[in-house]
Chain A
Amino acid sequence: MAALPSIMETTATVPDQPLLSVENISRLFGPEKGCQGVSFDLYPGEVLGIVGESGSGKSTLLSVLSGRSQPQDGVITYRGQQGEIIDLYSSSEAERRTLLRTEWGFVEQNPRDGLRMGVSAGANIGERLMAQGVRNYGVLRQEALDWLQHVEIDANRIDDLPRTFSGGMQQRLQIARNLVSSPRLVFMDEPTGGLDVSVQARLLDLLRRLVRELDLAVVIVTHDLAVARLLADRLMVMRRSRVVESGLTDQILDDPQHPYTQLLVSSVLQP
């Protein structure tokens, strides 16, 4: 992989201002369906994993966090690039969209939901840059070529439609499409979910590297504890719409405290 455009030097000091602050948010569509009473701070460069079984509210929480569905209760604030504080749900729909297209990214479980299937790989990557006002064809083309290389896709596939790509390639293209605008915060919903195990390993390796080199903050939803261990710095364990336990990833997995987490961890088959 070639050098990334904006490699940041890892600093020894811990950032003291959270990027995202979540206070007591709830969105319920039935008793214990959805999420409730969730609070946390996410700092620059931190990778937060949300784990739990299906129906525990992980995906609802992710859509609330990422500005896609309004919470019934609670406040989410984001600290923008210039240090400005943005109250997510009191800003307009248009402002939220802008945020999602520039400083944020969202990687869907199914790449077909996150890609534009009717346009070429290169156009998929260039879209965010064009939305930010980049008009020069040569610049767009070069960025697309660079990013194809970062995500290990052969450069001569630039003009091909995503539908001619394998599932793993589509997922990597979706990642490139999101990261091209140098976001600071990326949401991921089961990014390795639909992939074969061998393809998963490659994608995980790629994600790990990009997260570190770009110093990304990530919120990743996964039901796969091995994926969580590999990517996340810290975990929140959800059960029936509530966070039952949170902490450092290896501590949660090796010394779980809550009965449900103990059950979850002990139920995983060791290959």
Chain B
Amino acid sequence: MQTIIEVENLHKTFTLHQQQGVVLNVLKNISFNVGAGECVVLNGHSGAGKSTLMRTLYGNYLPASGSIRVLHQDRMFEMVGAEPRQIMAVRRETMGYVSQFLRVIPRVTCLDVVMEPALARGWAADKAAQRARQLLSRLNIPERLWSLAPGTFSGGEQQRVNIARGFMVSWPVMLLDEPTASLDEVNRQVVLDLIGEAKQAGSALIGIFHDKAAREVVADRYIDMNAQESSHAA
């Protein structure tokens, strides 16, 4: 199995300058690999640093030290210390992030939100629209909503729009931050199917799933984050 992402001795600290300079050591010495078609689930209590790890892998949080290498355009690319434009290229081509929260942009329609990752890769608009419509139907977003901006949608609808967006293109690495949280049975199954298809297609998946049933369906392996906890606040 080809290694797609390699994390080595990753540390993440937060220094809260506005709060007496308190230093939080949230991630300490994290090392793991994920291969093609494999799904690794992060396990741990709330506050154990699961979301922090995901955000650090995505370049959203700045690691204190360590290494994150991903297979990007046929070579292992070091994310730690990379330039913004390089991280953006990794996010466009290689690493997808699906959370339960949609960042709504005023006036941008549901269909456009979903199509965006494909357009960013240079897909033709009609091909992107076709795929976006398929995903929205599959995730049971009523067609009458597709041309509206999702700002007024319910929380569950926004979450499903965001999932459609996340699965719009195929990613060598997918970060899944509770994609099934608070979904009804039918939609939860759709998301699990999408995850299964991504695995089949060879994506390396790293996920957080609080829902035990979902976790057991998708996980090939677990990473225990609780070991972190003792070292959390210095």
Chain B residue with minimal CB distance to A201?
B106
In the A-B complex, the 4 residue pairs with the closest CB atoms: A259-B17, A201-B106, A234-B84, A248-B84
Q: A12-B89, A46-B85, A201-B106 are contacts. A259–B60 as well, Cβ < 8 Å? A: no
Q: Does B234 contact A (CB under 8 A)?
A: no
Q: Quick check: B59 and A10 within 8 Å, CB to CB?
A: no
Q: Quick check: A262 and B16 within 8 Å, CB to CB?
A: yes
In the assembled complex, the Cα of A14 lies from the Cα of B59 at a distance in Å of 17
Of the residues A202, A212, A234, A263, contact of B107 by C-beta under 8 Å: A202
Q: Quick check: A250 and B60 within 8 Å, CB to CB?
A: yes
Q: Quick check: A12 and B93 within 8 Å, CB to CB?
A: yes
Interface 1/0 per residue, B83-123 and A, CB below 8 Å: 01111110011000000000001111000000000011110
Q: Quick check: B61 and A254 within 8 Å, CB to CB?
A: yes
Q: Does A230 contact B (CB under 8 A)?
A: yes
Q: Does B73 contact A (CB under 8 A)?
A: yes
Chain B residue with minimal CB distance to A12?
B93
Of the residues A43, A201, A247, contact of B62 by C-beta under 8 Å: A247
In the assembled complex, the Cα of A13 lies from the Cα of B73 at a distance in Å of 9
Q: A10-B121, A46-B85, A233-B88 are contacts. A255–B61 as well, Cβ < 8 Å? A: yes
Q: Does A251 contact B (CB under 8 A)?
A: yes
Q: Quick check: B85 and A14 within 8 Å, CB to CB?
A: yes
Interface 1/0 per residue, A218-253 and B, CB below 8 Å: 000000000000100110000000000001111100
Residues of A within 8 A of B61 (CB): 251, 254-255
Q: Quick check: B87 and A10 within 8 Å, CB to CB?
A: no
Residues of A within 8 A of B122 (CB): 9-12
- Residue among B59, B106, B119 facing the most chain A CB atoms (10 A cut-off): B106
Which residues, 197 to 218 on A, are CB-close (under 8 Å) to B? 201-202, 204-205, 208, 212
Q: A10-B121, A12-B121, A14-B85 are contacts. A251–B59 as well, Cβ < 8 Å? A: yes
